[in-house]
Amino acid sequence: MPLRSNAQPRRPARRSGRPFRSGLLLVLAATTLAAVPASAATLQGRVTRVVDGDTVKVEVRGVETTVRLVGIDTPETVRPGTPVECFGPAASARTKHLLRPGQAVRLVTDPTQDVRDRYGRLLAYVYEAGRAGARASVNYALVAGGYAKVDVYEGRPFVAAPAFFRAQHRARVARAGLWGPACNGNTTKPALISRRAPKPAPRPAGGCNPNYRPCVPNSASDLDCEDIGHQVTVVGTDVYHLDGDGDGKACESYG
C-alpha cells in the first residue's frame, strides 16, 4: 500500500503583471511626448499668398502648406459665417505688406506646441530671410504694431510668450492699432468698412482685368479689397488673391 504524503502539490508560479504595466506606461509616455516635438524644426520656403492676418500659404519643398502664425491671433476677415471683425482688414493688409508672394521665408516650430493644429495648419514663427530671434519674427511684429493679440492655446505658454506679452503691453499703453479708438481692444465687433470711392488705379490700355466681374482694373502691383471698394466674382485666376476662402466671391464685406 503506497504511503500518503502530506506535502501539498506545487502551484504554478504566478507571473507578475509589473513588466506588462511598465511597458504599457512607457508606450503611453512615448505617445504623449510625440505630440509635442522635443526641439524646434526649421523649414525654408516661399510665400504664395496671405489668407488673413495670422494665416499664410507657403511653398515648402515644392508643396504648398498652410501656416498659422503661432502665438498670435488677428481679427477675423475670411472665416465662413463670421462677420469681418474690427481691425481685421488692417491686420490682413499689414501681413500682406510684410509677406509678399514669392518672398523667401524661414519657418520655425515651437517645441512647447503641437507641430500642426486641429485643422492641419503648420504652427510656426515666420521670419524674413536673414532674421532670427523672438523679436525678429513676423508674429512679433504684428503684436508690437497692435495688429494682433497674444494667443496662448489651452494654457500652454509658447517659448517666446514673455517677449510677446511685453510687446502687447507696450502697444496697449500706446493705444496702437486694435487697442486704439477704432476697437479699444474689442475686435469681436464688426469692422467699420469705409464706403469711400477707392483711389483710381493706373489703368493701362486694356482697362479691366478679365479674371473678375464687375470691373477690377489691371494693375502692376497687388490690389486689396480696400483698393477696389466693392464685391467681385472671380471668373478666372484670382491674380490679386482677393478670394480668401476660395468660394468664387471676393471682397464680400463690401457687398
Angle at CA of residue 148, ends 145 and 152, nearest 5°: 130
Instruction: Say whether the peptide bond before residue 12 is cis (omega within 30 degrees of 0).
Output: no
Using CA atoms, how far residue 48 sits from 80, 189, 228, in Å, is 22, 30, 21
Sign of CA dihedral 53, 85, 248, 65: positive
Burial degree of 130 (CB within 10 A; 0-12, 13-18, 19+):
exposed
DSSP calls for 202-227? P--TT-B-TTEES--B--SS---HHH
Sign of the CA dihedral 112, 118, 120, 125? Answer: negative
* Residue 84, C-alpha cell as written in the block: 469681418
Active-site position among 61, 76, 172, 213: 76
Check if 76 is active-site.
yes
Dihedral sign computed on CA atoms, order 226, 229, 231, 232: negative
- Catalytic entry in 18, 68, 172, 196: 68
Residue among 85, 94, 121, 252 flagged as catalytic: 121
Quick check: is 121 catalytic? yes
* CA 48 – CA 222 distance, rounded (Å): 13
68 carries an active-site annotation = yes
Q: Which residues are catalytic?
A: 68, 76, 121
